Amino acid sequence: MLVPYNPQMGTLEEVLLPPSPQHPFGTDEVGRDLLAQCIHGSRASLLVGISAGLISALIGASVGLLAGFYGGRGGELLMRIADAFLVIPSLPLILVLLFLIGPRMDHTIMILGILGWPGISRVVRSQVLSLKERLFVERVRSFGASDSHVIMHHIFPSVMPIITANTILVTAVAILSESTLSFLGLGDPLFLSWGTILHYSFLSGAITIGAYWYFFPPGLLIMSTVLYFTFVGNRLNAIFNPSGRRRWI
């Protein structure tokens, strides 16, 4: 594709080479090309992040819509569950869960997705609470419209921008979490991610011997990707959020 090397194959003649025209990002301790690895790693990192974000959005939006629209005891219960998820320290929980069910990519996606919804559901609920009191909702009810019609045609489209912005923010967090997990050695062994590259650079002692090209590029990629998602998400939030708060970072 972009580079003429297989990220999995190396030659022992080219171990830990610094950046050169042949290997722009250098090579690792078994002679694999690092540019190829970084490009391949982006797949797993983005896939995990975006899928987890979408799962969070699905759960968070449904919970927020139901809790906000119907309220009552059920809504209160859903919000207490969301609070419980918010106060659990997530990293230790993910570590334990992944250890129990095995470090596979689909497991990581599932766990990160399930842990990301409470924030979205809270924001969506508060919006729905104010939306459902608006006169146009009352008017549609006086059409004889059902609850599901009101939710799907009026409430959901109105909260959609906020769901989008918050999904992007959750995606950023998920990418960072995935990198953390992979760095700690809980990445899927079958899929290379930026965190995994960092993991191996740490194991091979790249920092000690000063092989900066081994850990800088994946680190920078993680940072810039997370920053990118965070900036876009926050900016969208600032534009869509009717509270008028201007948060830049």
Partner 1 sequence: MDLVEINNLTTCYPTESGEVKAVDGVSLGIRRNETLGLVGESGCGKSTLALSILKLVPLGTKISGNVLYQGKDLVQMNDSELSRIRWKKISLVHQGAMSAFNPLQRCKDQVAEAILIHENSSKSEAQARATELLRMMGIDSQSVDKYPHELSGGMKQRAMIAMSIACNPELVIADEPTTALDVIMQDQVLSIMQNLQRKLGLSILFVSHSLMTVGDICSRIAVMYAGKLVELADATSIFKHSYHPYTQGLMASNPRIRMSKDEKFEWSSITGEPPSLSRPPAGCRFHPRCPYCQDVCKREETRMREIENGHYVACHIA
**Residues binding partner 1 (CB under 8 A):** 134-136, 138-146, 149, 153-154, 157-158
Comparison of 9 and 152: residue with beta carbon closer to partner 1 = 152
Which pair of structure tokens corresponds to residue 218? 């994946």
Residues 6+ apart with CB under 8 A from 207: 201, 215
Comparison of 1 and 135: residue with beta carbon closer to partner 1 = 135
- Least gap, CB of 155 to partner 1 (angstroms): 10
* C-alpha of 11 from chain center: 35
- Least gap, CB of 145 to partner 1 (angstroms): 5
- Least gap, CB of 74 to partner 1 (angstroms): 14
- Torsion of the alpha carbons at 180, 223, 166 and 58, rounded to the nearest 10: -40
Residues 6+ apart with CB under 8 A from 159: 61, 64, 65, 124, 127, 128, 131
Comparison of 149 and 246: residue with beta carbon closer to partner 1 = 149
Q: How many CA atoms lie within 13 A of 162 on its CB side?
A: 23
Q: Which of 192, 175, 183, 181 is nearest to 228 (CA)?
A: 175
- Least gap, CB of 153 to partner 1 (angstroms): 7
- Least gap, CB of 61 to partner 1 (angstroms): 17
Comparison of 38 and 131: residue with beta carbon closer to partner 1 = 131
Comparison of 43 and 139: residue with beta carbon closer to partner 1 = 139
